[in-house]
Amino acid sequence: MTTQTGTILDKDLEICDAHHHIWDFPTNTYLVDELITDLSSGHNVTSTIYMECGYGYDTNLPSHLASVGETSFVDNCAKDIFKKTNGGIAACKAIVGYTDLTLGAQTQESLELHIATSNRFAGVRHATAWDADSNIRNAHTNPTAGQMLTQAFGQGIRLLTKLNLSFDAWLYHPQIQEFCQLAKQHPNQIMVLDHLGGLIGIESYSSRKQSVQKKWEKDMSLLSERENVYIKLGGLAMPLCGKDFHKRQTEIVAEELAEATASYYLHAIDAFGTHRCMFESNFPVDKVGVTYRTLWDSFKHITRNFSLKDKQALFKRNAENVYCSKR
């Protein structure tokens, strides 16, 4: 996909990309140089938050500790990017890693090793994305139905609270009510819902997108009552959402992308408030449908009439407050 040229809105507005990955999988490479290229494509990205993706595990460690290898790998990437950009971008300013929250004492051992490995380590994502439609691919953690409300998972959340670590939730929209119950059970735990709550628009959901959006809006409004929950605004360029941006023959422009996605983002902002929302790129996952430059410009189009204070919160302050302020 080519890089779009043209005027960028609010070019000086500082951005903390609240969610991206780094990996080198057989079908997709997105390492330090690829990330720097995107971060330097026109917007004023000054920092980023790294999100676990199951890459870089240390297979020499016991299985419950192997994910610490990802934290170590990303910590080194952060130092490399800072050097290559002459200190201009604090990439991976915080690292959200993975550990299995259901393993009791082994969960605590893993968390403590993550913390000892990098002072950037700020939280855990234990993905629970599961759907009854067998054609929908479940999360890489092999979750089960109702996992978030199991006793073992709750014990893991309490460990995060004890260690002052955040919890990121990657789930699908039919699970939002389950997540709402989890947040209610653990009111002192900071939780962040990724990708607008995982709207599914493919397979059995493809013919009922309007009803899906209505249910999502209702469930999101209910979830917003949980004051310990923040939400990431992004992820709609994933094929999962059924927007089919990745099938276009010509690159989508920022104004068109904004028009296609604004109703979702504005509903979330209206429900949660500008103090509990943060924009994310979800790159390189969303890269299949949109360029980094266009994506962030679309976010700016959607919020162009917001106050500067609200823009600063949505584009940087909230993400850094959640992930970086307590370390």
Does residue 133 sit in helix, strand or coil?
coil
pLDDT at 7: 83
pLDDT at 152: 98
- What pTM does this model have? 0.96
Classify domain 14-323 by CATH number. Answer: 3.20.20.140
Average pLDDT, integer, range 155-174:
98
CB 301 within 8 Å of CB 254 = yes
Name the pLDDT band for 5 (thresholds 50, 70, 90): low
Instruction: Quote the tokens at residue 66.
Output: 């192997």
Q: At residue 327, does pLDDT exceed 60? A: no
Q: Read off the pLDDT of residues 197-212 as tens digits, 9 standing for 90 and up.
A: 999 999 999 999 999 9
Q: At residue 1, does pLDDT exceed 90? A: no
Name the pLDDT band for 81 (thresholds 50, 70, 90): very high
pLDDT at 27: 92
| 186 backbone dihedrals φ, ψ, rounded to 5° | -130, 65
Please give the DSSP secondary-structure letter assigned to residue 12.
Answer: T
Q: Read off the pLDDT of residues 35-80 as tens digits, 9 standing for 90 and up.
A: 999 999 999 999 999 999 999 999 999 999 999 999 999 999 999 9
pLDDT at 10: 96
Q: Amino acid identity, residue 6?
A: G
